[in-house]
Structure 1
Amino acid sequence: MAETPSRGLDAQGHIVREGSLERVPHAFRPVVAAARDRLPGAFGARLHSAYLYGSIPRGTARVGRSDLDLLVALSGEPTDADRAAARDLDEALDRDFPQIDGAGTLLVSRAQTLSDLETHDLGWFVACLCTPLLGDDLAEFLPRYRPDTLLARETNGDLALLLPRWCERIDMADDTEEARRPLVRFMSRHLVRTAFTLVMPRWNGWTSDLHEMAEAFAGYYPERAEQVRTAAVLGYEPTGDPAVLRTYVDDLGPWLVREYARVHGVKTPRP
C-alpha cells in the first residue's frame, strides 16, 4: 500500500508533483481539451511540450472565478510571433469558455527550463507545480526537490527587485476599485508565497493553498501572522482598497525582503 504524502512530500522527503489531469473538475475538462487541441496549431513544430498549472489541475478551480494557466515550452527562445500566438490562444479560450475567468499562457524555452541557472526556479516549477498536457515531460531531466533553503532562495529571493516595479504599477493604475483589484490579488498571492517559502525549510513541506501557507508562516512569525492571513484571504477574494497596496510595498514587502535575505540570502542574479 502506497504511503500518503506528508505535507506534500514523499517518503524520501521530496516534494510530490501537485495536480493531475484526473483532478481537473468536470466543468473545466472541455476547456483543457480545447487547449490541448489548439496548442499544436498555435505553435507548430516549435512546440516541445505544454503543461497546466494552478487551481484547475489541482482540482480546486471555481466556475466563473478561476483562470486557465498554461505553460508552453518551445524548442527555441520565444519570439514576438510566439507571444502573439499565445495572446490569440488565450483570448479565444476566454471567449469560448465562460467557465474560466481568463486564460494565460507562459512561454519558456526547453533550454532555459533545463539550464543550471533555472534548476531551482523554473525547473522546479515545471517538475513540481506543472501537470503535463502535451509532449515529452521535461521533469524527466530535472532532479527531485526538497523544501530546503536553496529552493527558497531561488524561487522567492528576488522580492527586492519586484517592489519598485509594483510601486510603478500601483501609480499607473486607474484610480478605481476595478483597476486595483487584480493588483491586490496578484501581490497578495506573491507575498503569501514569499512568506511561506521563508519558513518552508523549517516547516518541511510544500502546499499551494494560500491559507495553509499563511498558517505555516504564522507558527514562526506570530507578530506578522495577521498581515499574512489577511493577504491570503485577499489572494482569493481581492478588494480594490488602495491602502492594502500601500501596506504591501511600504511595510510587509520591505520586511520580507530584509528577513528573507537574512535567512536565505538573495536569489542568483539573472541576465
Structure 2
Amino acid sequence: MSQYPGVDADGFIQCLPEQPLQPLFAPLVEELCALLSRRFPALLDGLYLYGSVARGDARPGTSDLDVTLVLAWAPSPEETQRLEATRRELQARHPQVSKIDFDIGVLSEVLAPGNLYRWGFWLKHQCRCIWGNDLGLRFAPFRPSRTIAQAVNGDFPEVLEGYAQQLEQAASTAEQQRLQRAAARKALRSANLLRGEQERGWPSTLHEHAQLLTAAEPGLSGYAAFFLQQAYAPQGPVADFVQRLRAYSALLAGETRAQP
C-alpha cells in the first residue's frame, strides 16, 4: 500500500474499485443502459458512472446518479431534446436518487490529445463503464499533478457562479438543497488546484479535499468546514450560502492565480 492517500503502491492515482453496484441503485442503472442503448443505438458510444453510485457510497434519496455519455457525434437539437426527455423520464421513475445528471462528451473531443488530462484522466480514474466502448482502457494510469487538477476543476469560477444564480432562482426547498450540495462539493474539489506540484497524494473524498484546503490556505479553513457540512446536510438561509460561495470563489481564484 502507498503511504500517500489516493494513490497506489506505484504512485498512480487509484481507479474506482471493481465491485457490484449497491442493490438499491442497480435496477436504475440497468434501466438506464437498456433505455439509452435502445433509443440511441448509433449515437451512443459508451456510458459511464461517476460519483457516489460509481464509488458504492450513495445515499438513498440524497445522492445523484451521475452519468457520462460519450457520443459518436455532436447531437442535433432534436437528439439533445430526446436525451433530455429520457433523462427526465428516468428521474421521475426513480426517487431513490435526488437527480439524474448527464455529462456529455463527443468521441472526437474525448480522444483529442489536447484533452488527455481532462477526458483521459476522467474516464480512467473517475468513471466505471457500464455499457458500450470502454475508452478508459485506452489510457495509461495517471500520476498526481496540478495539470490534471487544472483540467478537471479550472472551470470553478464559472461553475460556482452558475450554481449561485440557480440558487437565487430555485423555486423549492428540495431544489435549493440539491443545488447547495452540488455547489459545496464543487467548491471543495476545486481546492485541489492549491496542491503543490511535488505532492504525491491525490484527494478522493470530500474530507480529504477539505483537509487539503485547510493545509494549503489556513485562512480558508472556515470555508472548508462550512462547505463540508453543506455538502451532506444543507442548512441555513440560501442567501447566506450564496454570499459565502461567491466570496470563496473569489478568494480561491486569487490563490490559484498566485500558484507557481
Unaligned segments of structure 2, at least 5 residues: none
Q: RMSD over aligned Cα, in angstroms?
A: 2.4
Equivalent residue, structure 1, for 2:26: 29
Q: Cα distance, 1:163 vs. partner?
A: 5.4
Between the aligned residues of both structures, percent identity stands at 24
Amino acid at match of 1:221: E
CA offsets per residue over residues 201-246 of structure 1, 9 Å max, x none? Answer: 5553223321221023222222211211210111122235211211
1:103-252 matches, within 5 Å, as 103-162=100-159, 165-166=162-163, 168-174=165-171, 177-178=173-174, 180-199=176-195, 201=197, 203-239=199-235, 240-249=237-246, 251-252=247-248
Q: 1:41 aligns with which of 38, 43, 46?
A: 38
Measure the CA separation in 2 of the matches of 1:101 and 1:183. Answer: 11
Cα 1:86–1:30 change in 2 (3 A) is same
Q: Does residue 255 of structure 1 match 2:251?
A: yes
Q: Cα distance, 1:177 vs. partner?
A: 4.5
How many residues are matched?
259
Measure the CA separation in 2 of the matches of 1:34 and 1:163. Answer: 32
Equivalent residue, structure 2, for 1:15: 13
- Please report the TM-score for the alignment, with normalisation by the length of structure 2: 0.88
Amino acid at match of 2:234: P
The answer to whether the 8 Å contact 2:5/2:201 transfers is: yes
Unaligned segments of structure 1, at least 5 residues: 265-271
Q: Cα distance, 1:95 vs. partner?
A: 2.5
Equivalent residue, structure 2, for 1:91: 88
Cα 1:154–1:179 change in 2 (3 A) is same
Q: Cα distance, 1:108 vs. partner?
A: 1.2
Measure the CA separation in 1 of the matches of 2:67 and 2:48. Answer: 6
The answer to whether the 8 Å contact 2:25/2:53 transfers is: yes
Structure 1 residue runs of 4+, over 6 Å off?
none
- Say which SS state the counterpart of residue 26 (structure 1) adopts: coil
Cα 1:173–1:96 change in 2 (3 A) is closer
- Say which SS state the counterpart of residue 186 (structure 1) adopts: helix
